[in-house]
Amino acid sequence: EAGVAQSPRYKIIEKRQSVAFWCNPISGHATLYWYQQILGQGPKLLIQFQNNGVVDDSQLPKDRFSAERLKGVDSTLKIQPAKLEDSAVYLCASSWGQGLGDTQYFGPGTRLTVL
Amino acid sequence: AQKVTQAQTEISVVEKEDVTLDCVYETRDTTYYLFWYKQPPSGELVFLIRRNSFDEQNEISGRYSWNFQKSTSSFNFTITASQVVDSAVYFCALSEARNTDKLIFGTGTRLQVFP
């Protein structure tokens, strides 16, 4: 069974530029998560989707970050404009979406460097 | 508020030594789930174990074992006879039944196993 796919794996941009990340979850998984992991820290949830609806985006900086999951399968996370502090690894995860502490499976992540 | 503490920032051992990684959590929920993930240098978070709050049985999987104690709010992870391939950052995480399944991660423990 294929795991969570993410692209690109690495991205270097200058501040104030825009960037987009793509995620394809494990087939059949209804819930999709985007986490931000700053160097030396644990991942922090940015946004959670159940099918194509947003469940939790309370920690998403909405002035510059946006995310969508239009058809309830793959998802895109965008940053516009990027700031230096956005340098981090962006991890996508998915789960069956049955609630009750579903196990989340993570993709390889996208490492973003903002210069 | 929910919180996960991994007080050990970095641990170094020599191959074949046993090592225990500590995890202490805080939650007001009676139903919650605890996880351990491994993050090797490649960056992907690899799922190791999931435990619910009603199951305090210790678990063993090969060289890995987990000790869950509700009385001390701890969920410690022991690697027996460590190997170089165990070198990674290990994260403990918590999700609460009433909190949309998002994972609250600790800051991680970097384990280095030397030959």
The Cα–Cα gap between A49 and A34 comes to: 9
From chain B, the residues in CB contact with A107 under 8 A are 44
Chain B residue set in contact with A, beta carbons under 8 Å: 4, 32-33, 35, 37, 42-47, 50, 52, 91, 93, 95, 97, 100-103, 105-108
Q: Is the pLDDT of residue A100 over 80?
A: no
Residue pLDDT, tens place only, A21-65: 999 999 999 999 999 999 999 999 999 999 889 999 999 999 999
Identity (one letter) of the amino acid at A9? Answer: R
Location of structure tokens 């990340």: A21
pLDDT one-digit tens code per residue, B47-87: 999 999 998 888 899 999 999 999 999 999 999 999 999 99
Mutation for B interface: A94, A100, A110, most B CBs within 10 A: A100
Which parts of A8-74 are beta strand (E)? 10-13, 19-24, 31-37, 44-50, 53-56, 65-68
Write the Ramachandran bin of B108: left for phi over 0, alpha for psi from -120 to 50, otherwise beta: left
- Ramachandran class of B68: left when φ > 0, alpha when ψ lies in -120 to 50, beta otherwise: beta
pLDDT computed for residue A74 by the predictor: 95
HSE-up of residue B36 (Cα within 13 Å, Cβ side) = 27
